[in-house]
Structure 1
Amino acid sequence: MRTLTLCTFVIPVWLFSQNTISVKVHNVSSEDGKINVAVYDSDESFLKFDKVLKTGSVEAQEGMVALKIENMPAGEYALAVFHDENSNNKLDTNWLGIPKEKVAFSKAKMHTFGPPKYKECVFSVNSDYEINIEL
């Protein structure tokens, strides 16, 4: 009976615990605009603006900025970061679709012919997590 009681109360708390992802973005080139972070939780949603799980934003500062994405359940995630230098809340691209603003990803870099895949960027969160990303 004691084991059943323990499982009834401890396991649900563990399953639904909320974590914080602390993001440090390095190599910010100017104080113009904002640094935006998008959190994705699947290959199907990755880099689709209408399927972002969670976002965070902080004013740009030359060098390094830090922000926190809070209330994240345990799971696998990938981040996309961009420096919105003109504060228009969108990633500006040229006529070919190539970003004009700096872009970075968790655990992967931009490829010659496009962004990395979700599986290249994914990381696991089981407790509070800190990640460093180079713009």
Structure 2
Amino acid sequence: MLTASSLACTSVARAGSDNPAATSSITVVVSNLASTKSAVKLYFYNLREKFLKPNGYVFKKVVQPSGQSKITLPVDLPQGEWAVAITQDTNNNDKLDKNFLGIPTEPFAFSNNVRPKLSPPDFNDCKFVVGGTSTVVTITLKE
């Protein structure tokens, strides 16, 4: 199992991501990676109206799987409701490729393993609660 101590990981914070005193540790486990070499990007959201909007995430983490088909990433988050969107950049062009209809052609996933059919998922379908106890968020990447 791959852990944060063995990952090449970067984090990008966004404006409005003040660190209040009440934070909790969560662990995000992403399985079914399409590539053991391509970057996995995790986007963390805490506002419904900004979910999946360009630059609407609070922060993102970029993880190199380093030969593993599964990643385990511990993250400290302010308490409240959160959702995670994940993509894997299999061709390493630093963007999520889409077809002419706007549907991703690279692997993606959402917290709660929400599988959208004809439109992007809603924050309320993907949200999980970060509270006083440790939370494990398990997500299977969809190709």
Tell me the C-alpha RMSD between the 2 structures: 1.7
CA distance in 2 between counterparts of 1:29 and 1:43 reads 29
* TM-score (ref. length: structure 1): 0.80
**Counterpart in the other structure of 1:48:** 53
**Counterpart in the other structure of 2:115:** 110
Matches within 5 A, 1:78-93: 78-93=83-98
Which of 92, 98, 102 is the matching residue for 2:103? 98
Larger displacement relative to structure 2 (60-69 or 125-134):
60-69
1:62 CA displacement:
4.5
1:20 correspondence with 2:25: yes
Flag the structure with larger Rg.
1
Which of 34, 37, 42 is the matching residue for 1:32? 37
CA distance in 2 between counterparts of 1:50 and 1:40 reads 10
1:46 CA displacement:
0.4
Which of 65, 71, 75 is the matching residue for 1:69? 75
CA distance in 2 between counterparts of 1:95 and 1:62 reads 31
Unaligned runs of 5+ in 1: 1-14
Change in CA separation of 1:22 and 1:125 when aligned onto 2, cut-off 3 Å: same
Change in CA separation of 1:37 and 1:43 when aligned onto 2, cut-off 3 Å: same
1:130 CA displacement:
1.5
CA distance in 2 between counterparts of 1:59 and 1:132 reads 18
Whether the 8 Å CA contact 1:108–1:120 is kept in 2: the answer is no
2:42 is matched by which residue type in structure 1?
V
Whether the 8 Å CA contact 2:34–2:90 is kept in 1: the answer is no
Once the two structures are superposed, residues 10-32 of structure 1 have per-residue CA deviations (whole angstroms, 9 ceiling, x without a partner) of: xxxxx722222211101112223
Alignment size in residue pairs: 120
**Counterpart in the other structure of 2:138:** 132
* TM-score (ref. length: structure 2): 0.76
Higher helix share: 1
